[in-house]
Structure 1
């Protein structure tokens, strides 16, 4: 029944998108707003479906690039910031960004970026490039691959978590991400360590993050800009002032040393309204960053705070139509329709 309801929902969403486009509603929305920049936020480009909906397949990514190139002028984040700083926004533009620095950004996304000559910025988490793994990914993999029926987290006031089925494991992952992002950084780290230790003590995880060599190769191409996403991916408003400042400044320094070029852009971990504040922005300015990306949904129109750039998150739900096929209509409405105007 759940699958049937999802299919009905997808059918309705796809054909509503078609009707919106044919009615001219999207065109009217655009005509009333002048210039616009759509900043798109990706995480992973892989054949593997992420439990949190953070991935998109290489096939879908290529279809998105084709659509974006036909609909927008594709520009780099450097051009976005220059345009906004000079107040010369006129026309329709799109800019691609990737968060965290996954290996598949090189294996799949970069190859397609080169094929279609599309620029992008990848915000890397420094420690993840050093270790080859990302804490949350290892955490998720530990749960999904566990043969344990439960895990006892009562010491953290999280209860005993049911892991008996694949669906239960996916539910647990979504629950953990939702709850732990609201916790103090120390508690979050302690829970992550316990889960990985108990559920994946003997597991060997393949490298899933970029190497510095891959990052340097992409940047040398002129298509990819590398930005900072902190050292260890803490939510900056949930750590003390000294820790936040260290995460912001040290990540910039290390990336610049590794790649031999200035780091001008930053992406806030988690990136919601409550995940950064004026104090964090002041740290970014003092460190020498020119702009910062959030996860606050919306497009850029007119005057825009450069340290509060909104983005549209890309996932399957915005472009997967009936029978699991790419829907250009759904994608167009997602990136140009009324909901993309929110900020």
Structure 2
């Protein structure tokens, strides 16, 4: 675990031991929290699993739902959350469950839990991934590094061979390659991922089909009355890195595709990756112009009455796979803590 996450864990431990989250929830004007989830998997991650941050166990999801209700928090849909934010007086505090990317494991492992608890949720769908032709590039580079003792990394036309024979070295190589790709224009990143995968015999399209629901599976998932389908672009590109017309097209086309598939226009949107490097005021304005009722980021924070006037830049709290301890759920459910963290880091 990195020094950053070790520091966060220490803070969570201190908050839990102090019993402060309950007092903060009582005194804070935060009305609710939107949780971000991606994958739900029963298997423990391997020693080298940099994307384990994106996965939680089914038993942890089960406990989260039970615990937030024990804390007298309602689990509501996004539409109801927006209504509660717009109400002149604060009502009961609430939690919203959201899942990004339409992973198959959501259907296998999350949906039965959500049904058992009668817990509404939103699933944000990147349509090219459901078509089986997108790039889950963050997972691809992990998979390739996992099975290699050395990799070739190219930067500025120079190729270096990097030792990846140990977990420490694998993590270092992943971080270097990940941030190299994050800083690239999207066409360059797409090309680099494709060439990197080809060099190591990695089938990106098969990976996409293996990990992401197809349309038949997604229709089964979306057919549950607890489910709200939201848009998540076509290709899962970082919108802030695209020319404005391409960014608008990514958003608008995803709406058109989901409307054609399900007969209903999605009212809610999630910005891919969702941090300040990926979505900012230009993208918030696009979401508003395209008629979305809400759009969520991955910027940490709770929901306040003021968010009713800016529903296209909603914060979320990630149910981080590195912090699957039951005693931390009280911290996760306290939006004001993450609002303060966002101010310190933002």
TM category, shorter:
0.7 to 0.9
What's 1:112 paired with?
Answer: 113
Deviations along 1:186-233, one digit per CA (max 9) or x if unpaired, are: 221122112111123479646110122222222222101111110111
Question: In the TM superposition, what are the counterparts of 1:156-195 in structure 2 within 5 Å?
Answer: 159-195=160-196
Deviation at 1:47, TM superposition (A): 2.7
CA spacing shift, 1:202–1:309, aligned 2, 3 Å:
closer
- Judge which range, 221-230 or 185-194, deviates more: 185-194
Query: TM-score, structure 2 length as denominator?
Result: 0.85
Contact 2:275 2:297 in 1 (8 A): yes
In the alignment, does 2:304 pair up with 1:306?
no
After superposition, residues 1-343 of structure 1 pair within 5 angstroms as: 16-21=14-19, 25-48=20-43, 49=45, 50-52=49-51, 53-71=53-71, 72-131=73-132, 134-136=135-137, 139-147=140-148, 149-155=150-156, 159-201=160-202, 205=207, 207-304=210-307, 305-320=310-325, 327=326, 329-336=327-334, 339-342=337-340, 343=342
Cα deviation digits, residues 95-124 of structure 1 (max 9, x gap): 001111111111111110001110110111
Moved more, 114-123 or 149-158: 149-158
Give the Cα separation in 1 of the matches to 2:91 and 2:311: 17
Equivalent-residue separation in structure 2 for 1:228 and 1:332 (angstroms): 30
Q: Distance in 2 between matches of 1:274 and 1:89?
A: 33
Query: Which structure 2 segments of 5+ residues have no match?
Result: none
Q: Which runs of 4+ in 1 moved over 3 A?
A: 8-15, 85-89, 144-148, 154-161, 201-206
> C-alpha distance in 1, partners of 2:143/2:23?
48
Q: CA deviation at 1:158?
A: 7.5
Q: Residue 174 of structure 2: SS of its match in structure 1?
A: helix
| Conservation of the 8 A alpha-carbon contact between 1:102 and 1:209 | yes
Task: Work out the CA distance in 2 between the residues paired with 1:258 and 1:138.
Answer: 27
CA distance in 1, matches of 2:185, 2:9: 41
- Give the deviation of 1:38 after TM superposition: 0.7
Gaps of 5+ in 1: 321-326
Q: 1:11 to 1:29 in 2, by over 3 A?
A: closer
Do the aligned partners of 2:101 and 2:123 also contact (CA within 8 Å) in 1?
yes
Query: Residues of 2 paired with 1:278 and 1:18: CA distance?
Result: 35
Contact 2:144–2:202 (CA under 8 A) maintained in structure 1 = no
1:65·1:116 contact (CA, 8 Å) conserved in 2?
yes
Work out the CA distance in 2 between the residues paired with 1:35 and 1:216: 35
Q: CA RMSD in A?
A: 2.8
- C-alpha change, 1:132 and 1:46, in structure 2 (3 Å) is farther
Please give the alpha-carbon distance, in whole angstroms, between the structure 1 residues aligned to 2:270 and 2:128: 15
Return the offset for 1:241.
1.5
Q: Report deviation, 1:298.
A: 0.6
